[in-house]
Amino acid sequence: MTQSNRMFDDLSRLMTNAVGVAQGARDEAETALKGWVDRWLADRDFVTREEFEAVREMAIKARTENAELRAMIEELRAGKTADDTTVG
C-alpha cells in the first residue's frame, strides 16, 4: 500500500511539473507571437484608432463647411442672376 501511494505521489508530482512546463512554454510562445504581431503591424504603418477618429472628425467638419459654402455660393449666384434680370 505504501509503495502504491508513493508511486501515485511521484506520478502526481510528475504531472504537476509537466503542467507547469507546458504553461511556461505557452506563456513564452504567446509573448513571442505578440511581439511578432506588434512588429508586423508597426512595419505596415497602420494608424491608431485615435488617429483615425481625429481624421474622421476633420473630414466631417470639412464636408459640413463645404456644404455651407456651396449653399452660400448658390445664394450669391441666385442673387446675381436676379440682379442681372432686374437691370436689363
Cα–Cα distance for residue pair 2/10, rounded to 1 Å: 12
Mean pLDDT computed over every residue of the chain = 88
Number of separate domains in the chain:
2
Output the CA–CA distances (angstroms, integers) from residue 34 to 22, 25, 37, 41, 65, in the order listed: 18, 14, 5, 10, 43
Cα dihedral sign for 24, 25, 27, 32? Answer: positive
17 with 58, same domain: the answer is: no
What's the whole-number mean pLDDT along residues 31-56? 91
53 with 36, same domain: the answer is: no
Range of the domain at 13: 1-46
**Percentage of the chain with pLDDT > 90?**
53
Question: What pTM does this model have?
Answer: 0.46
Compare 37 and 46 and report the one with higher pLDDT. Answer: 37
Q: What is the pLDDT of residue 3?
A: 72
1 with 40, same domain: the answer is: yes
Q: Amino acid letter at 59?
A: A
Q: Find the Cα–Cα–Cα–Cα dihedral 41, 45, 48, 53, rounded to 10°.
A: -140
Q: What is the pLDDT of residue 79?
A: 87
